[in-house]
Structure 1
Amino acid sequence: MRRLDHMPLTHEHSRSLFSLLSGGLLLFLIAPVAFAEDAASEYSAEQLTFFEAKIRPVLVKECYCCHSEKAGNIRGGLRLDTRELTHIGGDNGPAVVPGDLEQSLLYNAVNHEDFRMPPNRKLAPEVIADIRAWIEMGAPDPRERQVEQIQPSVTAEDIAQAREQFWAYQPLRQPEVPQTQDSNWAITDIDRFILAQLEGNELPPAADAEPQKVLRRLYFDLIGIPPTPEEIQDFENVWKKNPSDAVEQVVDRLLEMPQFGERWGRHWLDVVRYAESTGREVNMTYPHAWRYRDYVIDAFNSDKPFNEFAVEQLAGDLLPAKSDEESAENIVATTFLAIGPKNVNERNRIQFQADLVDEQIDATTRVFLGSSVSCARCHDHKFDAFRQADYYALAGMFNNLTTFFGAPPSDYGPYRQVQVQRTSSLIPLPVDDPNDAKPKYTSVQMEKMKDEMKELREEAAEVRRDMRSGDNQANVLMRLIRTSNRLAELSAKLGSVDENGIPISFCMGVKEERRARDLPVLIRGEIDQRGAVVPRGLPQVFATESFAIPSESSGRREFAEWVGSADNPLTSRVMVNRIWQNLLGYGIVRSPENFGVTGESPTHPELLDHLALEFVKSNWSVKTLVKEIATSRVYRISSAFSPSAHEIDPSNRLLWRANPRRLDAESLRDAMLAISGSLDEERPHAGPVYDAGYTRVRGGTLGGSPEDIRAMFQSAMNAQRGQGGGFGMNQGGFGGRFRTPFMPRPNQPNAFANAMRSVTHQLDMEDAKFRSVYLPIVRDELPRSLEAFDFADPNSITGVRESSNTPNQALYMMNNPFVLKQADALAGRVTKEHNSLGDQIDLAFQLCYGRSPTVDERTASSNFLRQFNETSASQRSRTPGSPLAMAAFCQALLASAEFRLID
């Protein structure tokens, strides 16, 4: 295990460096703190006397005129008339941070450093000394706002009624397996539950689908790619003897393939809003999100018990570990809490923390419990039995953790950008990543970087002095940006390696770094409107006598273990419903994130409980449940339409037939790669977001390294000057990692643009041949191959994807370079494997559709190819060795509706 004690992760690592204000540049540091401060502490009599005698009179005389409730138009959003609001601060951060002069902007202002308060004169030296002493002693302050009492709209009777009567909160009960009139059709208990309801509504189940359709369904559902013609033939041979044996053999084989985790891991990534950037106004990358993606895939492949999987994601940092490898895995799992969208442009760090906790609560309760507790942030839930106090009881469990999502630790922040207000460091892992290709540094290189940092610090101090002089502010600002970016760059490099210059492995995640405490209700969700303090705990509708939080604990681990407990009926029901939906098209509950009053009721409640109990008994095994459903009779029935059945059950809620489904975006892309013979089944290491590092996303590209962009800029500048051109100002920068105010004038855009493309990382990745689950998922900049086909929106929790049929999809299949390349490769494959035209047509149909062509299809295909070859265009080829006629034919097969349908 590598020693990491030379590089402690403190709040210094996650400070923000810049904030641009009108009239000049304000330099200050902000550390993450809790979004609600403690109630009045037990101050000593001497401390209270000091405040009343030395501090309060100064605040009243010098500050309240502009920064109190009576001021009317409060300057800068800052109020200083209560302790809580003084600590919260205004637009630029906290006025007072107890014990920390550097972060206390009030002290900065009275010293007339970056702020000047009072604006026209400086306070007496002894008054400034008193303020300094007050902050250093912990800023004792007895001023408290009167707590507003909230009358809950959700009553105790409402909660009791929901606990006793609402189906989702009832304990799991083993239902009796129903008897059916047809004793021959059902082969599993699942079939008996389905058939009983069908018979009760006089609906016969559809006949079994053809064997090749069943096999295609199994392959796409379990591993996300189609079967080969040889696998189809083998399956049909076994099917003729015993269909159940044929299905079971295939299911067992597919469950052991690594592609299973890639397919089912992607389902989970939909739900947990996986992405590799923050999204929002300033879209910054998450270079280490890929570790969580791989963790999820590995968890499904190893069939990690789902309850353990849940606990690790909610409290992995608090779990004991038998080895460094297990500890690393647990920490990576907590990326679940760190990976959501973030407004890193939020000026107020307490508002940012409040929003961060809210997003974590929303994800946790909807993903694992099918409950939207976050709706109670500002008021009691309008429909479900959740009080606002329940929300803050949960918030108390999440509020004392620090969320790590940015770049390796740096004294100067991760590649500073003036518009990024909220930044973060990362967590060093206790084990090395053997595939990490990041550069190693020699002792000479490290010493050189340290020496350069020393010189840059001196230059930065000089720049600040020049700034205060008021001379040529534009040039001073440019110098400051360049100096600070270089300082940040060097500091990040040194922070990403150990004392020997060897790269340290980092990950996103969370850690508890502040003492546990209860939080107050925030009236209407406003951070400056505190209500009564709420003890940490479960929402009352979930509360059990066995759940207790030790006084020294935040309660997050206890909450996580309750989520993964068999005593909690929601987690097993919610996950079983997700598995059922991914295999049969719709969940037993068709609103998978909403098991509340406004959600849908289960179509087969007894079956849901039966499967949930079986899930728990199997040690929460996802593979066991997948096999149980996939080997049932109902899974393999046909999707054939019946007018009479449709009249009784138009939504197919009773499952009288299979639900026709479109291939999702990943399966469509992966299927094209698979049948063309181009699919690379090896897992790539990390991805382009990791290669680009912590940078801003702009126009579908990620900025290159600072060295590359600097060299590119210098080259473009030299070329521009050589033509007598110049450079104008534009603070848009070059994609994030290295910012400069210079941009080329319009008379020389091409060389600059070409150079820029050479050092940036493209996100579309049309030439990539690995599985789609490994494509970069950057918020608001999805690859075209995914975006066009209803890919899950990574800005939100997506339990059910949309399914559309749009002109954009047709245009993509007709014109996109990726599709054309796969059509060419497929044409090359069929012509290489067969000489006769008829055999080539047969193979193309078998690869694309899993079946042979009909007589009419074979005739039409032959006519098309022969007529195409008679034209002069037949002499051209899209790529060498790929005849244009066969490539056009293969593209037509790929663009057809049948190719995009599972059944």
Structure 2
Amino acid sequence: MRYLLFLIPCALASTGVFAQEVSYQTQVRPILSDKCYACHGPDEANNKADLRLDTPEAAYAALKEGEGHAIVPGDLENSVAWQRILATDPNEVMPPPESNLTLDEKEKALIRQWIEEGAKYEKHWAFTALPREVPVPAVKQKDWPANEIDHFILARLEDEKIAPSPAADPLRWLRRATFDLTGLPPTAEEIHAFEQEAATDFAAAKARATERLLASPAYGEHMAVAWLDAARYADSYGYQSDKLNTQWPYRDWVIEAFNKNLPYDEFVRWQLAGDLLEDPSREQKLATAFNRLHRLNNEGGAIFEEWRIENIADRVHTMGTAFLGLTMECCRCHDHKYDPISMRDYYSLFAFFNSIDENGLYDRTARVPSPTLLLPDEAEEKALQAARSELDAARENLQASEKQARQAFFAWLEQDPAVQPPRPGPTLDFSQGKLDKKVARFAENDHAHAPPLAFAPFSPDQPGVQAIRFDGDRYLSFEDIPSFDRWTPFSLAVTFRESVRKEIRATLAHHTRGTDAGFNGWDLILDNGYLEHRLYRVWPGNAMGLRTLEPIPANQVHHLVVTYDASDRAEGLRLFLNGKELATEILRDKKVKSAGVATQHGGRLALGSRWRDRGVEGLLVRDFSLHHRALSAAEIARLAAPTSELTREQLWDHFCLVASRDTREARQRLTQAVTALVEAEEGVQEIPVMEELPEPLEAHLLARGEYNAPTDESTRVERVTPAFLPPLEKRGEVADRLDLANWLLEPDHPLTARVFVNRLWANFFGVGLVSTPENFGLQGALPTHPELFDWLSRDFIAKDWDIKALCRSFVLSATYGQESRRRPELAERDPENLLLARAPAHRLDAEQIRDLALAASGLLNDTIGGPPVSPYQPGEDLWTESNGMSPPYQQSVGKALYRRSVYSVWKRTAPLPNMMAFDTSTREVCTVARPRTNTPLQALVLLNDVQFVEAARHLASRLSGSTAREQIAEAFLRLTGRPASERESEILATLYQSEHARLAQDPEATRHLLAHGDSPASESDHPAQLAAATSVCLAILNLDATIWKR
């Protein structure tokens, strides 16, 4: 592969012809991609003149509109595309004037020569398989390379007749490597020890330091930062409410994975499909939280399916960027304009992420959107195991008790037992046109000024009998009825008639809280005549529910009873209509933690509708009763018809639930076991993860990406991968996410290894071998060192995807170890240092700058993992100032204030200002490259932000020197990693003297400066001296020598 165009030594000759053969890959394709593909690229549906120029077959073919061929290899005169380039008529010239694109003379010359030389097309470099072997080039300066990387870099430099830079000073190398491997500065002790070792054997000292740094827990914390950007990890859901979430165990898993040196192939496989591995561990399931880190909405009026589609689309975009280095977003609505990715390809990938038990939104509680994973600690795990064991024993005991009760049942039957009507709890009888306001009331806050519900005749067959008529919006709510839960048996009976049957889904009764973005609790739904009976913490993935197999008859009087026996199983939910049990199917039967209601809206048992939800319009209710136990089938039959004959099955049900003391006691034990299990689960950390549905959901190509686009068999897509990449091999009949992960990790996959190696290279060398890590497609940059790139990628795979080995090769290379000083002779030839004739120099990242201040000052708390912490923020409360729906910001106290920045709480709508000033990601979407700016605001942050002023104060208080110059030397070494020069020492000493003189005359300013931060101020007999030293430390903290990596 050729080098980047600007580095190819082929000048445009006076005849307008290039001295070397023109490369389609590096010279022509970029022109066509920039100037032509928007109208004549892969997006066939929107192409002009039905012409594609991105493939030779299409470009060489006869034109579909007009005569001739767009490109005739070797024949300019008959190449219509060339003639249109030369045209002067604005209606003929290409690119057309309205595109605001033009070809300059150099670009025209390249295209002309390319056609003359045969118009040969080449496959895009990033889409070609990795070579099996890449030869390491020979070099003339044989004593310079330290490893294979240096051979490639030096060979290129020798081709360009450029010498590499001298090796950096040992302390420069140490600071550079320490930041790149741990995100922290070297300590003064490490600096002194390394300086002595390097004086004897610099290479051996570097090797030992590298191993020490790779083994440090700080390595994983630092490496995690860039990955968390790509994973769009944050501690809040985003959008308008931006409530805090519980994702932090995933962050801790990432840190641990890097520290354990989990191979990259496993790192990827676990995150994409850990739940689909054979007998997956809790850790492997936890890793799949990667797919659930997208933003979530809970806005009133949001549509479940619309946002479910948005969430899946985000997973596709993230996978495309993080693992493939491709832009996928545009393919949601149309074929890609530049890359060979069709809209059908997009939705085929979409299908892999389409089948988990989610509803698209989250409710306004702290409850975690399903599906989820419990993460108990050791004590909680023991409690859970004990509770589950007792529940299993209680179930077995009930089964045994019911089996043993058969003989007693027959003896009971011989006594001709009477089945008495059950004694109800709260009861309402509307037949006389009255509402007992001691039991229920009409107006809640949301309907306080609405007129009351009206009474109406119940049925033509029952003249004079009244019923309350519901309008589909308002409802009755009951007083003082505790919420239903997994351990609470109950029954509800209602006599009703639908005056109008509408093809809608509506709430008949409920005991839930929430809003239309999501409810939790119990509800009874009438869906176009079908009844649903549900008890849930989070629907659909943390719930039990069932649905009738047939719709109930319309416009008839019905006596409906719903029961739950507290068995903690969906089969314990039952529906009876007019005394007979209805046939049902189980919708869901998976639950953890309490299903009791919890949030700010609703919370009472209600009849007729639900706040911000749809009720049954025209519903007529004659009476209603609640029973605090599960009624038997026999009791329910007698409620519907007091003189009805009871069947043997109904009597057996009654005997077990009501008449038999032994089975009642067995059920009581079961109820207690369910209660104990819920109590054991309730405090356990929970996190959203992936969990495939038993049957894959269909996926369809959605016109314009709309969730409600029409679909049919022609829009249905299969789980396949784009045709321009290697084919996917599936393990079973239907491909799944594990197949997708395995496909990504095939040794010959052209993108996966390249994409990660490129991003890791950028972490050490400032910019990737491809400078557009988010785009390896046709609009992306070309690799500066293609052979090195392929060698690194192939070697990475050959060494079992060993991330630490790759890091080691970078920091121990002579390329990395060069001086970073700019060289005047390269200012025009290589202004961006793409040839790497010197080491890179750039500002540290936001997290590194804050952590540097904490570490050098001695404030750093190196505790690993745990919930996020809340460092200093400016102002009173930026969270509530920026979002009135947000809880107030609660600043951490004590040592928690000084945790590493990777643990700082990240709220998407109110990120930490001192981090944002230094270009950190908002983490709203997948981000694989941060901008790197240098602005006045950054200096203001370093000079005034309480975190940095406090760090300067704390550093000043622990300096051990007896004189000002000795203290300055120590502070400079701790912050910059090297001794100060004579000039630097002199300037800082002068600053100290002037500050001491000023502060000695201004005790109030001294007190103010030393009062910054929550850490205890050290007692000093000379506060003005301490304050002056603080000013000097703050000045050093602001130096480029401190906040830049050189």
Distance 1:467 1:849 in 2: 64
Q: Which has the larger share of helix?
A: 1
Mapped to 1, the partners of 2:862 and 2:324 lie a distance apart of 34
Contact residue 414 and residue 488 of structure 1 kept, 8 A: no
Deviates more, 1:784-793 or 1:342-351: 342-351
- Please tell me whether residue 264 in structure 1 is matched to residue 446 in structure 2: no
- What's 1:829 paired with? 958
Per-residue deviation at 1:797?
2.0
Q: What is the deviation of 1:316?
A: 1.2
Offset at residue 519 of structure 1 (A) = 2.7
Distance in 1 (CA, whole Å) between partners of 2:479 and 2:850 is 43
- What is the SS of the residue equivalent to 1:648? coil
1:577–1:356 CA distance, 2 compared to 1 (3 A): same
Q: Which residue of 1 aligns with 2:313?
A: 358
Deviations 1:821-859 (A, max 9, x none): 1111011011xx222222111101111111222222223
| Cα distance change, pair 246–332 in 1 and its aligned pair in 2 (3 A) | same
What residue identity is the alignment partner of 2:292? A
For each residue in 1:195-218, what CA deviation from the matched residue of structure 2 results, as whole angstroms up to 9, or x when unmatched?
111111122111111111110001
Residues 218-297 of structure 1: pairs in structure 2 closer than 5 A = 218-286=177-245, 288-297=246-255
Per-residue CA deviations over 1:405-448 (Å, capped at 9, x if unaligned) read 988xxxxx55299xxxxx83451327436699x99xx9xxxxxx
CA distance in 2, matches of 1:808, 1:543: 48
Q: Which residue of 2 aligns with 1:632?
A: 813
Deviation at 1:460, TM superposition (A): 13
Within 2, Cα distance between the matches of 1:813 and 1:429? Answer: 41
Cα drift, residue 474 of structure 1: 11
Q: CA deviation at 1:281?
A: 2.5
Preserved CA contact (<8 Å) 1:699 1:781: no
Structure 1, unpaired ranges of 5+: 1-148, 408-412, 418-422, 443-453, 691-697, 704-731, 737-756
Determine whether 1:589 maps to 2:770.
yes
Q: Deviations over 1:227-259 (max 9, x none)?
A: 122211222222223322121111011101110
Larger radius of gyration between Structure 1 and Structure 2 = 2
Structure 2 Cα separation of the partners of residues 461 and 277 of structure 1: 42
Structure 2 CA distance for partners of 1:239 and 1:547, relative to 1, 3 Å: same
Counterpart of 1:428, as a letter, is L
Tell me which amino acid in the other structure corresponds to 2:449: N
Question: Using a 3 Å threshold, how does the CA distance of structure 1 residues 247 and 348 change in structure 2: closer, same or farther?
Answer: same
SS in 2 for 1:870: helix
Q: Does residue 286 of structure 2 align to residue 332 of structure 1?
A: yes
Out of 490, 494, 513, the position equivalent to 2:594 is: 494
- My pick for the range that moved more, 673-682 or 156-165, is 156-165
Specify the code of the residue in structure 2 equivalent to 1:472. H
> In the TM superposition, what is the alpha-carbon distance from 1:479 to its structure 2 partner?
9.1
The answer (yes or no) to whether the contact 2:306–2:360 under 8 Å persists in 1 is: no
Q: Which deviations, in whole Å up to 9, do the C-alpha atoms of 1:69-121 show, x marking residues without a partner?
A: xxxxxxxxxxxxxxxxxxxxxxxxxxxxxxxxxxxxxxxxxxxxxxxxxxxxx
Task: Specify whether residues 403 and 260 from structure 1 end up closer, same or farther in structure 2 by C-alpha distance, changes over 3 A only.
Answer: farther
668-677 or 812-821, larger mean C-alpha shift? 812-821
Q: Is the 8 A contact 1:673 1:769 kept in 2?
A: yes
Q: Which of 730, 735, 744 in structure 2 is aligned with 1:548?
A: 730
Of the candidates 658, 665, 669, which is equivalent to residue 846 of structure 2? 665
**Aligned positions of 1:143-292 closer than 5 A:** 158=55, 165-173=123-131, 174-286=133-245, 288-292=246-250
Secondary structure of 2:925 counterpart: coil
Q: Which residue of 2 aligns with 1:383?
A: 338
Aligned positions of 1:230-629 closer than 5 A: 230-286=189-245, 288-321=246-279, 327-345=281-299, 347-403=302-358, 415=365, 424-425=369-370, 427-429=372-374, 431-432=376-377, 465-466=442-443, 472-473=449-450, 494-495=594-595, 498-501=677-680, 503-513=683-693, 515-526=695-706, 527-530=708-711, 531-544=714-727, 547-548=729-730, 550-551=732-733, 553-629=734-810
- Give distance in 1, aligned partners of 2:779 and 2:858: 47
Q: Please report the TM-score for the alignment, with normalisation by the length of structure 1.
A: 0.67
Distance 1:534 1:395 in 2: 9
Is the CA contact 1:764–1:783 (under 8 Å) kept in the aligned structure 2?
no
Alignment of 1:774 onto 2:956:
no
Q: CA deviation at 1:155?
A: 8.0
Distance 2:427 2:906 in 1: 36
Identity of aligned residues (%): 29
User: What pairs up with 1:696-711 in 2 under 5 angstroms?
Assistant: 700-701=878-879
Contact 1:577–1:588 under 8 Å retained in 2: yes
Q: Any unmatched runs of 5+ in structure 2? A: 1-43, 59-119, 388-424, 429-434, 453-473, 481-510, 523-535, 538-592, 597-675, 1012-1016
Q: Take 1:469 and 1:625, find their aligned partners in 2: how far apart are those partners?
A: 61
Partner in structure 2 of residue 728 of structure 1: none
What secondary structure sits across from 2:281 in the alignment?
A: helix
Structure 1 stretch displaced more, 624-633 or 424-433? 424-433
Aligned residues: 667
Q: CA deviation at 1:810?
A: 1.4
Shift of 1:517: 4.8
> Structure 2 CA distance, aligned partners of 1:416 and 1:462?
31
State the alpha-carbon separation in 2 of the partners of residues 299 and 480 from structure 1: 52
Partners in 2 of 1:478 and 1:189 — Cα distance? 77
Question: 369-378 vs 884-893, which deviates more?
Answer: 369-378
**Matched-pair contact (CA < 8 Å) for 1:251–1:627:** yes
2:183 touches 2:222 (CA, 8 Å); kept in 1?
Answer: yes
Letter of the aligned partner of 1:861 in structure 2? L
- Cα 1:509–1:455 change in 2 (3 A) is farther
Contact 1:460 1:484 in 2 (8 A): no
Write the distance in 1 (CA, Å) between the matches of 2:828 and 2:130.
34
Query: Deviation per CA, 1:525-566, whole angstroms, max 9, x where unpaired?
Result: 23323353222211111142x623633x35222111111221
Q: 2:347 is aligned with what amino acid?
A: Y
Contact 1:289 1:507 in 2 (8 A): yes
Shift of 1:789: 1.0
Aligned mates of 2:900, 2:699 — CA distance in 1: 45
CA contact (8 A) 2:380 2:684 kept: no
C-alpha separation in 1, matches of 2:207 and 2:53: 50
Offset of residue 495 of structure 1: 4.8
Q: What is the alpha-carbon distance in structure 1 between the residues aligned to residue 986 and residue 283 of structure 2?
A: 57
Q: CA deviation at 1:398?
A: 1.5
Give the structure 2 partner of residue 810 of structure 1. 939
C-alpha displacement of 1:477: 10
Q: 1:587 to 1:764 in 2, by over 3 A?
A: farther
| CA distance in structure 2 between the partners assigned to 1:646 and 1:470 by the alignment | 73
- Give the Cα separation in 2 of the matches to 1:657 and 1:463: 80
Higher share of residues assigned strand: 2
SS in 1 for 2:940: helix
> How far 1:368 moved relative to its partner?
0.6
Matched residue of 1:590: which SS? Answer: coil
- Distance across 2 between alignment mates of 1:336 and 1:688: 21
| Cα 1:463/1:399, change in 2 over 3 Å | farther
Query: 1: distance between equivalents of 2:950 and 2:870?
Result: 25
Q: Does the residue aligned with 1:512 lie in a helix, a strand or coil?
A: coil
| Residue 771 of structure 1, CA deviation | 0.7
Distance between the aligned counterparts of 1:236 and 1:785, measured in 2?
Answer: 34
Q: CA deviation at 1:652?
A: 1.3
Residues 587 and 469 of structure 1: CA distance in aligned 2, closer, same or farther (over 3 Å)? closer
Name the aligned partner's letter for residue 177 of structure 1.
V
Which of 873, 886, 895 is 2:1001 aligned to?
873
Q: CA deviation at 1:806?
A: 1.6
Aligned residues: CA RMSD: 4.0
Distance 1:894 1:763, change over 3 A: same
Cα deviation, residue 580, structure 1: 0.7
* 2:715 partner SS: strand
Please state how far the C-alpha of 1:469 moved relative to its aligned partner.
Answer: 12
Q: Secondary structure at the match of 1:429?
A: strand
